[in-house]
């Protein structure tokens, strides 16, 4: 589904990001994954190469808070491979700090990692995609971007911003054949969720009509669809992958 495509995936060393890297590789893409540290990048690459030593994958760890560092790394991908077809903005942090305990500095940190970092990657990617005649940008939102959450305002605010960025970019970049979408996962079996005790998980499951938490591959499948030509007329969408969970 992605044969011949070149993709950059931020936050690609574990969880949803890692599953998306693997899914893209299985479908013929060349992937450059970004991680927060060289150690985690190397570990992810070793795991992927163990599964298939022929997969065209490499990694880097630019500081996503540094616009110049991100631009340099994305431009390096273009210089090496001649193009950039897909940008997946998956890096970010979750947060549920109660508002009364949330300092201005903490709020800014969440917004920096969940919103500013996306914009830092979008800027160089858009320049490349406009020059080559098209491309695809997909960002990770969240189910709380639609309904908020009962504790903590920073995280849902950041994900509302991701949705706004997605819809606005889709309208602006459509004439350049650049599609822009987002995926909004629900409760997904990442390391953090897998570590929760059963008495915490079971009430969550009861609020999900499909009666199970999502798997990283469920979300990766959504990214694959939106990145592929099957979604060639889909832009400006925030695709929920949450089992219709009742918040």
Q: Chunk the chain into consecutive blocks of 10 residues (it has 247) and report each block's average pLDDT, rounded to whole numbers.
A: 97 96 98 97 97 97 97 98 98 87 93 96 98 98 88 92 98 98 91 71 85 92 98 97 82
Q: What is the pLDDT of residue 199?
A: 79
Beta bridge partners of 180: 137
Cα angle vertex 66, ends 61, 70, to 5°? 55
Burial class (CB in 10 A: 0-12, 13-18, 19+), 244: exposed
Domain limits, the chain: 6-241
Q: What is the pLDDT of residue 191?
A: 74
User: Is-contact 141 183, C-beta < 8 A?
Assistant: yes
Q: What is the pLDDT of residue 196?
A: 64
Active site residues: 155
User: CA separation (Å) from 236 to 55, 75, 138, 161, 165?
Assistant: 31, 25, 10, 14, 9
Virtual CA dihedral for 226, 194, 91, 25, nearest 10 degrees?
A: -50
Domain 6-241, CATH homologous superfamily name and number = NAD(P)-binding Rossmann-like Domain (3.40.50.720)
Q: Which residues of 117-156 are buried (b: 16+ CB within 10 A; e: fewer)?
A: bbebbbebbbebbeebeebbbbbbbbbbbbeebeebbbbb
Q: Which phi and psi angles does 156 have, rounded to 5°?
A: -60, -35
Q: pTM score > 0.85 for this model? A: yes
CB atoms within 10 A of CB 97: 16
Integer Cα distance of 77 and 6 in angstroms? 9
């Amino acid at each position: 589904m992605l044969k011949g495509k070149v993709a950059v995936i931020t936050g690609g060393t574990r969880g949803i990001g890692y599953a998306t890297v693997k899914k893209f590789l299985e479908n013929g893409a060349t992937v450059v994954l970004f991680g927060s540290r060289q150690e985690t990048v190397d570990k992810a690459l070793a795991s992927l190469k163990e599964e298939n030593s022929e997969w065209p994958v490499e990694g880097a760890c630019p500081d996503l808070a540094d616009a110049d560092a991100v631009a340099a790394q994305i431009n390096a991908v273009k210089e090496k491979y001649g193009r950039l077809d897909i940008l997946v903005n998956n890096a970010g942090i979750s947060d549920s700090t109660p508002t009364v305990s949330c300092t201005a500095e903490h709020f800014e940190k969440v917004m920096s990692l969940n919103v500013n970092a996306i914009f830092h990657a979008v800027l160089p990617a858009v320049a490349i995609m406009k020059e080559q005649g098209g491309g695809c940008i997909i960002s990770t939102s969240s189910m709380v971007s639609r309904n908020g959450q009962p504790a903590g305002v920073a995280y849902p605010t950041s994900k509302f911003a991701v949705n706004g960025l997605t819809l606005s970019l889709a309208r602006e970049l459509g004439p350049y054949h650049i599609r822009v979408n987002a995926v909004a996962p629900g409760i997904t079996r990442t390391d953090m969720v897998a570590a929760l005790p059963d008495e915490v998980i079971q009430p969550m499951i009861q609020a999900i009509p499909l009666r199970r938490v999502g798997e990283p591959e469920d979300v990766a499948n959504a990214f694959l669809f939106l990145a592929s030509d099957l979604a060639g007329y889909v832009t400006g969408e925030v695709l929920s992958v949450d089992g219709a969970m009742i918040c």
